[in-house]
Structure 1
Amino acid sequence: MELDEIKAKIELRQGDITEIEADAIVNSANTDLILGAGVSGAIGRKGGRIIQDECNAIGSAPLGDAVVTSAGALKAKCVIHAVSMEIGHFTSEENVARATRSALRRAEERNLRTIAFPAIGTGAAALAPEYSARAMLDTVVRHLAGGTGLDRIYFVLFNEEVLAAFREVFDGLTLERRPPRRGREQER
């Protein structure tokens, strides 16, 4: 698949991810699967207690993995919880890339056609938006280049600063693989 075909499947928009109509909404999750603040909190509030109850039943998930729950009252069919951080810790591009890859895998396993991502790691995990954008968009491009059942991948970004960072990375995308950065050098 050519880069232009891949980019045509990706849509960047500013807004509230809980309002989007997609088969799956991705939650930027911690290893304890606690829906706290930011995107997680909004998903829990708008989707209802059932989502946290299902997370509690799962218990926990390893860093870089993704687990699936129902979407409760949200418009999506399910919520994919992409585990990019441990509570009280920062994250890295590498963790965000692994969590993004796992979320895409879960969507494929369920034969979903559309998935909506937030800017994973930019809230409590304190990753700068440009690092999140690079890790996520590079991972999505590689996934789409390998063939996929996904028709559309949305990035629903909560403010203009984050949207601008994602647009800048999106405009510079190539099919060349860039290794993600590791560690704390990405703290804000």
Structure 2
Amino acid sequence: MPVSVVEGDLLDQPVEAIVNAWNRNIIPWWLLLPQGVSGAIKRRGGVGPFREVARAGPMPLGSAVVTSAGRLPFKAIIHVAGIDMLWRASERSIQDSVRNALAKAREQGFRSVAFPVIGAGSGSFDEARALELMRQVLDVEAGALDVSVVRFRP
């Protein structure tokens, strides 16, 4: 299936699962002030998904963990460790995050998933370049998954 790039709010997408570009669970979530996608999830979905992802322990850079969606209307949230300890994304962390999120989506049997532009928020990575890196992986590895990448536009 072709990958679509849309503008809007990740939390308003008609998909089974969304991807949250998260930290690596090194700093406890309750000490963080979630911003961007994580902040929106916390405000609309509650803290349940963050408690669940914290139980996974430290996440290797580029890895993915699946949790419930809290009060959000999705089957799950796939949290990816897209930024390093200095809050920076890299080409590898972006592409590994996409690859591992796709693997988790397939393992869970999801048919549709929406990604934010990984690394372009708190990770301070150039949005156009991050999107290009994501497309390199998605165009080859999405397979039968219905995938969209959501460029945040309030």
Structure 1 residue corresponding to 2:87, chosen from 83, 86, 89: 89
Post-superposition CA distance 1:142-174 (Å, at most 9, x none): 103xxx341x101111139xxxxxxxxxxxxxx
Kindly state the Cα deviation for residue 40 of structure 1 after the two structures are TM-superposed.
1.1
Instruction: Return 101-110 or 51-60, whichever deviates more.
Output: 51-60
Of residues 64, 77, 92, the one that matches 2:62 is: 64
SS at match of 1:85: coil
How many angstroms apart in 2 are the aligned matches of 1:46 and 1:60?
25
Structure 1 distance, partners of 2:112, 2:99, is: 15
2:12 corresponds to which letter in structure 1? Answer: E
Q: CA deviation at 1:96?
A: 0.1
Structure 1 residues without counterparts, runs of 5 or longer: 1-5, 161-188
Aligned to 1:30: 23
> Hey, what's the Cα distance between the residues in 1 that align with 2:107 and 2:144?
10
TM-score, normalising length from structure 2? 0.89
Equivalent pair of 2:9/2:150 in contact (CA under 8 Å): yes
Partners of 2:63 and 2:54 in 1: CA distance: 16
Structure 2: gaps (5+ residues)? none
- The amino acid of 2:75's aligned partner reads K
| Overall identity of the aligned pairs, in % | 34
CA shift, 1:11, in A, is: 1.8
Q: Displacement of 1:49 after TM fit?
A: 1.4
Match runs of 1:72-111 below 5 Å:
72-111=70-109
Shift of 1:89: 2.9
- Structure 1 runs, 4 residues or longer, greater than 4 Å off: none
TM-superposed CA distance for 1:75, in Å, is 1.4
Which has the higher Rg, Structure 1 or Structure 2? 1
> 1:57: Cα distance to partner?
1.7
C-alpha deviations, 1:29-68, integer Å up to 9, x for none?
A: 1111747111111112111111111122222211011000
Q: Distance in 2 between matches of 1:94 and 1:59?
A: 21
Task: Read off the aligned partner of 1:23 and give its amino acid letter.
Answer: E
8 Å contact kept, 1:66–1:103: yes
What is the identity, as a one-letter code, of the residue corresponding to 1:101?
Answer: R
TM-superposed CA distance for 1:83, in Å, is 1.0
Residues 76-106 of structure 1: CA distance to partner in whole angstroms, max 9, x if unpaired? 1000001111243311111100000000000
SS of the residue 2:4 aligns to: strand
Higher share in helix: 1
TM, length-normalised to structure 1: 0.74
CA contact (8 A) 1:51 1:72 kept: yes
Counterpart of 2:113 in 1: which secondary structure?
A: strand
Greater relative contact order (Cα < 8 A, sep 6+): 2
Aligned length: 149
> Residue 10 of structure 2 corresponds to which residue in structure 1?
17
Q: Please give the alpha-carbon distance, in whole angstroms, between the structure 1 residues aligned to 2:85 and 2:40.
A: 18
C-alpha RMSD of matched pairs (Å): 1.7
